[in-house]
Amino acid sequence: MLNKFFLSAICACAIAISGCHSDAESVNKDKVPDLSASSLYQTAKASMADSNYSKARQYLEALDTRYPFGEYTDQVQLDL
């Protein structure tokens, strides 16, 4: 009975530890570079024109997050 408890506890700890693991590269990896609002919007528009909608969405979401009260706010919401 005690062996089953310890085995269960060890398995639970192993799962918890492996679930919390992340490397520094994946944590600090930002897919969208730090650009101005107009550069972000122009890149998003160019991506939409090239039918690269996933990239356009990433840039529009970054623009919306970084500049929530900027001049592109309304248009970003429409484009998303």
pLDDT digits (tens, 9 = 90+) for 2-55: 677 767 777 676 777 766 655 544 443 468 889 999 999 999 999 999 999 999
pLDDT of residue 22: 57
57 located within any domain: yes
The count of domains in the chain is 1
CA 79: distance to chain centroid?
18
49 located within any domain: yes
42 located within any domain: yes
pLDDT of residue 54: 94
Pull the structure tokens for residue 80. 């998303």
Domain span at 60: 32-80
Contact 40, 62 (CB under 8 A): yes
Quickly state the pLDDT bin for 80 (edges 50, 70, 90): confident
6 located within any domain: no
20 located within any domain: no
pLDDT of residue 21: 57
Contact 80, 64 (CB under 8 A): yes
User: Stretch 54-80: mean pLDDT, rounded?
Assistant: 92
Residue type for position 62: A
Pick from 22, 29, 20, 72: which is nearest to 80 by CA?
A: 72
pLDDT of residue 18: 67
